[in-house]
């Protein structure tokens, strides 16, 4: 399984935000773009968008020029021309940070930043890898690919990796 930054992954993560923005523009159209409505919607849109911008930039910086190949017994990391192989015996655990509604498949998404999640692969030597949702399009497939590793799910409303 190859994990890398793709436009499709970006679009998938941003889709809820883009849909919300479209709904706001349609509402403004029906309000004839009156000055008061534009000001109110502009304030709402900034509050609605700021967390998404912060998370997206952070996730981009963490996974810039990084690719992972995931196999049943190892993870191969390619970063800036360097190749690092991590076997499952070197992995202590994988912590998955995601919004509470994403953890439950029946949860309803209310805010655009709830689309963001990341995984922290903690190694036995103390190092860790961060794999964000900009790389992983299918989390269940990722989890079924790597075998023999302990997964820990952590619920976090605003999934900002340190």
pLDDT in tens, 29-46: 999 999 999 999 999 999
Q: What angle do CA 19, 22, 28 make, to 5 degrees?
A: 145
Q: Going by CATH, does the domain composed of 2-155 fall within 3.55.50.30?
A: no
The domain limits of the chain are: 2-155
pLDDT in tens, 91-140: 999 999 988 877 666 678 888 998 899 999 999 999 999 999 999 888 78
């Amino acid at each position: 399984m190859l994990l890398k930054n793709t436009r499709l992954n970006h679009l998938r993560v941003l889709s809820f935000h883009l849909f919300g923005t479209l709904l706001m523009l349609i509402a403004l159209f029906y309000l004839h773009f009156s000055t008061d409505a534009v000001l109110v919607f502009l304030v709402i849109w900034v509050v609605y968008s700021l967390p998404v911008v912060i998370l997206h930039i952070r996730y981009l910086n963490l996974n810039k020029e990084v690719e992972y190949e995931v196999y049943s017994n190892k993870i191969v990391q390619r970063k800036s021309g360097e190749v690092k192989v991590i076997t499952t015996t070197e992995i202590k655990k994988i912590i998955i940070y995601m919004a509470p509604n994403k953890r439950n498949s029946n949860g309803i998404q209310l805010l655009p930043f709830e689309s963001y999640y990341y995984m922290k692969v903690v190694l036995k030597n103390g190092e860790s890898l961060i794999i964000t949702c900009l790389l992983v399009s299918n989390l269940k497939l990722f989890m079924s690919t790597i075998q023999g590793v302990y997964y820990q799910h952590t619920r976090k409303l605003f999934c900002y990796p340190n």
